[in-house]
Amino acid sequence: MDLTSHPLVVRARRLATDLLVPEAERVDQEWVPASHLEAVKRSGLLGVAAPAEHGGAGASPAVLRATAEILSGACCATWFVQTQHHTPVQTLARSELPVRERMLGPLSRGELLSGVAYAHLRSYPRRPVRVRREGAGWRFDGTVPWYTGWGLNDVMLLAGVTDSDEVLFAFAEAREQPGLRASPPMRLAALTAARTVSLELDGLWLPAEAVALHTPYDRWAAGDRVKTLTTSPAVFGVAEAALSLLDDATATPLRSRLADLRERAYALADAPVPQAWAEEQGTAGAAGAGHGLTVRGERAGEGVDEWAEERLAVRAEAYDVLRAATTAAVMTGGGRAMALTSRAQRLAREGLFLLVQGQTAKSRAAHLRALSGAPAATGERHR
């Protein structure tokens, strides 16, 4: 499918060419400026996958991926701040709770920018953030290890786990307030500009009306595990940016591999989840747990292990091409690529960041097996 003429893709390309690419090296050494995010808001890209009836574009996953590739390849820090926004929008779009009517419109139209604080849920049964009932609302205590976009986001979608092993997602203002304190922004090898902090929660109270999702942990985690098997569009975006710095003889074979992997990765991302996977994970209702997954009904010969391993293998292959492309860009730049103002070096560091972004124990193990040349695990259930 050729998406080059889609209005949102055209806007993303114009934004990248006119603003993000020319400023990327400066932003990398400083902070993502509020003006960049205002430009993203004006472009309508925050609502790319949001429901049209709430002011969004209602575009397909393919359009969302295409715009993500463009933005990440232009300025990965700006992309990373704004990409957090899509999870709250999609969570609200599938929510039946009152907060949907209050928040979905402003987020879909780009009037508000939202961050997310939920990756710590993947460390369960540890509970870095604990939630319990308090009066007519919920109390949050603990530590959010990573929160991106502090000082840039208007609101955040905060998650924790209750004593009864349920996940609860609720909206809060993205600012210091009673019960919520942020660390100084972290200095990182890549994407320092995205203003990532840790959050200390000490009795942060949010009203029941702020809750967007409340569901058993296992039901939520089933859908989240599927998401972590897929390859991020940013891998392709940063790799393409690196390939643009190479001569044709070097870039052509790598670009061919990348195109093949993109086609395979996106076909897998769009494919329904096997019924056997849903049942093995303990739920066939991940769509109602904030993920919107499609489950296909046939059960015989599903090959659950093979289904998951194929996705992880494509993900690892895509990282391999990303590594080759960014390494080649640095080599092409020679000694100049060691300067912090070098685009090649920035892309290489962003590639390192993408290696660990959204990483889980399963994806890490699969990638390490690929790097070591060890055979894929067999008979291992992805629980």
Instruction: Walk along the chain (383 residues) and give the pLDDT tens digit of each residue.
Output: 789 999 999 999 999 999 999 999 999 999 999 999 999 999 999 999 999 999 999 999 999 999 999 999 999 999 999 999 999 999 999 999 999 999 999 999 999 999 999 999 999 999 999 999 999 999 999 999 999 999 999 999 999 999 999 999 999 999 999 999 999 999 999 999 999 999 999 999 999 999 999 999 999 998 898 889 999 999 999 999 999 999 999 999 999 999 999 999 999 999 988 876 666 555 444 444 555 556 554 444 446 778 899 999 999 999 999 999 999 999 999 999 999 999 999 999 999 999 999 888 889 999 999 999 887 654 444 33
CB atoms within 10 A of CB 130: 14
CB-based contacts of 80: which residues, under 8 Å, 6+ apart?
72, 148, 191, 194, 234
Per the listing, tokens 């997602």 go with: 169
Judging by DSSP bridges, how do beta strands 295-296 and 273-274 pair with one another?
parallel
pLDDT value of position 273: 85
Provide the whole-model pTM: 0.92
pLDDT at position 54 = 97
Alpha helices in 94-245 (DSSP H): 99-108, 217-227, 233-243
Q: Closest Cα partner for 194 from 370, 54, 317, 349? A: 349
DSSP string covering 347-368? HHHHHHHHHHTT--HHHHHHHH
Reduced to 3 states (helix: H, G, I; strand: E, B; else coil), residue 183 is coil
Model confidence pLDDT, tens digit, residues 341-358: 999 999 999 999 999 998
Please calculate the CA angle 94-98-155 and round it to the nearest 5 degrees.
80
Say how far apart CA 171 and CA 111 lie, in whole Å. Answer: 15
What pLDDT digit, counting tens, does each position of 297-327 carry?
444 444 677 889 999 999 999 999 999 999 9
Mark 150-177 as b/e (b = at least 16 C-beta within 10 Å). Answer: bebbbbbbbbbbbeeebbbbbbbebeee
Distance CA 271, CA 260 (A): 17
Q: Please report the pLDDT score of residue 383 as a whole number.
A: 36
Which pLDDT value is given to residue 290? Answer: 55
Closest among 102, 90, 95 to 48, alpha carbons compared: 90
